[in-house]
């Protein structure tokens, strides 16, 4: 039985309550925490999480597991191309949402025409690309025994900046929610798909499993060709040097920004996204330095020290 706890904002300081009122799900239906790590989702979605835990895993599956804004889309585009012979011209014609089944969007935010998720889950093919932001403790128990999983970790300072902009982009937060208040919600682990700490710590503890490839976003930025070689070897899909050069160019931040298949340009045109924000943003490491005041950085550093004490996780901030 999945542990479920309703979030009562009265239990939090007034400044947190005020900030939460400017962000979904608290500005609409309210939130709950489920599972061992207290995964944060809107009320009513706990049954869907249970179905995901019990879904069948295929031996040809490749999964991407991340906390939001940790390089997920970037890694999706890389994995799809490696699995499909680095056909970048074909890749440009296929929307990223068709390349990967996104558990969180497909099943946590939407239900099928029958009013449940059973049909939606069963429609998946046999050689699947799947991505999720759920922590390992809420994923199928036999996931790593059957499928290959790529986990991408990113330092919490750059993550919180990127997630702040993403929440604005998808209109899940009020445009007047200030960054410092968003950081407060992040530390309180009240943002949808929190907690960051629980997510990355669970993955780090499994990093030596042969079916798990743990990557750091910052290492991928520092030496992308080396990362491509590592990923292709993990998937059993060796690349030529020409493939590596072609793919590295295709997934460069400049080309990702210009590629409608990954930047969701159509959602901007339809007004789904907030003007002034972008899905593929800066893609840099160390951009957090432009956002944190000295006082906020000290507070955040204290939170990091408390949350990751004795974890041995080697965060990289540049």
Q: pTM score, two decimals? A: 0.89
**Average of pLDDT values for 260-268?**
59
Active-site residue, from 133, 165, 250, 264:
133
Assess whether pLDDT exceeds 50 at residue 247: yes
What is the CB neighbour count within 10 angstroms for residue 1?
A: 4
pLDDT of residue 235: 96
Q: Is the pLDDT of residue 211 over 50?
A: yes
**Would residue 93 count as lying in a domain?**
yes
Which has more pLDDT, 284 or 265? 284
pLDDT of residue 110: 46
For residue 56, the model assigns a pLDDT of 86
pLDDT band at 28 (very low <50, low <70, confident <90, very high): confident
Rounded Cα–Cα distance for residues 114 and 105 (Å):
17
In DSSP notation, 157-199 reads HHHHHHHHHHHHHTT-B-TT--HHHHHHHHHTT-STT--HHHH
Least reliable range by pLDDT among 52-61, 99-108, 236-245, 290-299: 99-108
Contact (CB, 8 A) for 19 and 184:
yes
pLDDT at 263: 61
Considering the domain boundaries, does residue 52 fall inside one? yes
Q: Is the pLDDT of residue 113 over 50?
A: no
What is the rounded average pLDDT of the residues 99-128? 58
Instruction: Give residue-wise pLDDT tens across range 139-155.
Output: 999 999 999 999 999 99
In a domain, 75, yes or no: yes
**pLDDT band at 112; cut points 50, 70, 90:** very low
Tell me if residue 133 is catalytic. Answer: yes
Instruction: Please report the pLDDT score of residue 264 as a whole number.
Output: 57
Please report whether residue 2 resides in a domain: no
Provide the residue range defining the domain that includes 114: 45-307
Which of residues 303 and 99 earns the better pLDDT score? 303
Query: What is the CATH number for 58?
Result: 3.40.50.300
Whole-number Å distance between alpha carbons of 254 and 68: 21
- The model's confidence at residue 273, banded by pLDDT at 50, 70 and 90, is low
Q: Which two tokens stand for residue 302?
A: 């204290």
pLDDT at position 208: 97
Assess if residue 58 is contained within a domain: yes
Domain assignment present for residue 30? The answer is: no
Count the domains in the chain. 1
Do residues 63 and 148 lie in contact, with contact meaning Cβ atoms separated by under 8 Å?
yes
- What was the pLDDT predicted at 93? 85
Q: Flag whether 34 is in a domain.
A: no
Closest CA to 186 of 213, 216, 214, 159: 159
Tens digits of residue pLDDT in 152-207: 999 999 999 989 988 887 778 898 999 999 999 999 999 999 999 999 999 999 99
Kindly report the average pLDDT of the chain as a whole number.
86
Whether residue 198 is contained in a domain is answered as yes
Neighbour-count burial of 127, counting CB atoms closer than 10 A to its CB (0-12 exposed, 13-18 middle, 19+ buried): exposed
């Amino acid at each position: 039985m999945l542990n479920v706890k309703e979030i009562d904002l009265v239990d939090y300081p007034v400044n947190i309550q005020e900030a939460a009122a400017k962000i979904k799900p608290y500005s609409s239906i309210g939130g709950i925490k489920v599972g061992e790590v207290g995964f944060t989702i809107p009320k009513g979605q706990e049954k869907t999480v249970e179905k995901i835990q019990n879904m069948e895993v295929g031996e040809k599956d490749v999964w991407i597991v991340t906390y939001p804004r940790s390089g997920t889309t970037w890694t999706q585009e890389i994995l799809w191309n490696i699995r499909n012979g680095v056909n970048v011209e074909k890749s440009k014609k296929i929307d990223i949402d068709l390349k990967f089944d996104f558990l969180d969007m497909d099943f946590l935010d939407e239900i099928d025409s029958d009013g449940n998720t059973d049909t939606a889950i069963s429609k998946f093919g046999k050689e699947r690309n799947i991505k999720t932001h759920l922590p390992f403790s809420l994923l199928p128990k036999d996931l790593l025994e059957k499928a290959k999983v790529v986990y991408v970790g990113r330092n919490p300072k750059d993550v919180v900046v990127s997630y702040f902009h993403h929440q604005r982009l998808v209109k899940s937060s009020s445009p007047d929610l200030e960054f410092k208040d968003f950081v407060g919600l992040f530390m309180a682990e009240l943002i949808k798909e929190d907690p960051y700490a629980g997510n990355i710590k669970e993955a780090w503890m499994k990093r030596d499993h042969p079916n798990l490839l743990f990557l750091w976003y910052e290492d991928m930025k520092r030496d992308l060709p080396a990362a491509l070689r590592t990923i292709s070897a993990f998937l059993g899909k060796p690349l030529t040097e020409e493939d590596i050069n072609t793919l590295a160019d295709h997934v460069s931040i400049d080309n990702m920004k210009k590629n409608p298949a990954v930047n969701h340009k159509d959602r901007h045109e339809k007004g789904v996204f907030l003007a002034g924000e972008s899905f593929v943003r800066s893609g840099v490491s160390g951009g957090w330095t432009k956002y944190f005041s000295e006082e906020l950085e000290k507070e955040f550093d204290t939170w990091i020290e408390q949350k990751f004490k004795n974890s041995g996780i080697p965060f990289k901030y540049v």
